Amino acid sequence: MARSALYLSKSRLISAWQCPKKLHLEKHFPELGKVSRQTEALIEAGHRVGAVAQTLYGGADAVAVRFDFRTMLAETQALIDGGADFPLFEASFRFEGVLVRVDVMLPDAGGWRVIEVKSSTSVKDYHVLDCAIQDWVLRNSGIKVLSVSLAHINNQFIYQGDGNFDGLFLEHDLTDEVRLLEPRVVELLAKARVAVGGPMPEVNVGAHCSSPFACQFSAHCWPHDTRYPIRGLGGNQAKLGEFVALGCRDILDVDENSLTSATQRRIHRVTSKGEAEILDGARGVLTALPYPRYYLDFETIAPAVPFWRGTRPFQAIPVQWSVHIEDESAIRHDEFLDLSGAAPMRALAERLIAVLGDSGPVLMYTNYEQQVLNNLIEICDDLAAPLRAIVARLFDLHPVVRDNYYHPEMLGSWSIKAVLPCIAPHMSYAALDGIQEGTAASEGFLEAIGLADNAAAPPTAARKAELREQLLRYCRFDTEAMVEIVRFFSSMSGERNA
Ligand code: SF4
What confidence category does residue 401 fall into, taking pLDDT thresholds of 50, 70 and 90?
very high
Same domain? 191 vs 232: no
Report pLDDT digits (tens) over 188-198.
999 999 999 99
Distance from Cα 23 to the centre of ligand 1, integer Å: 9
Same domain? 259 vs 285: no
Same domain? 242 vs 293: no
pLDDT of residue 1: 40
Checking if the pLDDT of 388 tops 60, the result is yes
Report pLDDT digits (tens) over 421-432.
999 999 989 889
Ligand 1 atom at shortest distance from the alpha carbon of 208: 7
Same domain? 41 vs 176: yes
**Does residue 211 belong to any structural domain of this protein?**
no
What confidence category does residue 45 fall into, taking pLDDT thresholds of 50, 70 and 90?
confident
Distance from Cα 204 to the centre of ligand 1, integer Å: 8
Q: Is the dihedral of CA 78, 47, 98, 150 positive or negative?
A: positive
Could you tell me if the CB of 208 is within 6 A of ligand 1? yes
**Does residue 203 belong to any structural domain of this protein?**
no
Question: Residue 27 maps to which CATH number?
Answer: 3.90.320.10
The 10 Å CB-count burial string (b at 16+, else e) for 267-290 is bbebbeeeebbbeeebbebbeeee
Could you tell me if the CB of 19 is within 6 A of ligand 1? yes
Closest CA to 488 of 407, 422, 396, 409: 422
| Top mutation candidate among 19, 24, 202, 220 for ligand 1, by most atoms within 8 Å of CB | 19
Distance from Cα 413 to the centre of ligand 1, integer Å: 22
Report pLDDT digits (tens) over 262-281.
999 999 999 999 999 999 89
Could you tell me if the CB of 203 is within 6 A of ligand 1? yes
- End position of a domain, from candidates 263, 290, 317: 263
Could you tell me if the CB of 221 is within 6 A of ligand 1? yes
Distance from Cα 126 to the centre of ligand 1, integer Å: 17
Distance from Cα 419 to the centre of ligand 1, integer Å: 28
Could you tell me if the CB of 293 is within 6 A of ligand 1? no
Checking if the pLDDT of 495 tops 70, the result is no
Asked if residue 212 has a cis previous peptide bond (ω within 30° of 0), the answer is yes
Same domain? 62 vs 152: yes
Asked if residue 292 has a cis previous peptide bond (ω within 30° of 0), the answer is yes
Question: Residue 444 maps to which CATH number?
Answer: 3.30.420.10
> Atom 5 in ligand 1: which residue has the minimum CA distance?
22
Same domain? 240 vs 164: no
Closest CA to 321 of 355, 290, 288, 289: 355
Beta carbons within 8 Å of 147's beta carbon, 6+ residues apart: 113, 114, 173, 175
pLDDT of residue 3: 43
What confidence category does residue 62 fall into, taking pLDDT thresholds of 50, 70 and 90?
confident
Specify the DSSP class assigned to residue 339: -
Distance from Cα 22 to the centre of ligand 1, integer Å: 5
What whole-number distance in Å separates Cα of residue 452 and Cα of residue 230? Answer: 37
> Atom 7 in ligand 1: which residue has the minimum CA distance?
209
Same domain? 46 vs 176: yes
Could you tell me if the CB of 261 is within 6 A of ligand 1? no
Could you tell me if the CB of 209 is within 6 A of ligand 1? yes
> Atom 1 in ligand 1: which residue has the minimum CA distance?
218
Structural domain boundaries, residue 242? 222-263
Same domain? 38 vs 161: yes
pLDDT of residue 6: 67
Could you tell me if the CB of 231 is within 6 A of ligand 1? no
DSSP 3-state of 154: coil
**Does residue 495 belong to any structural domain of this protein?**
no
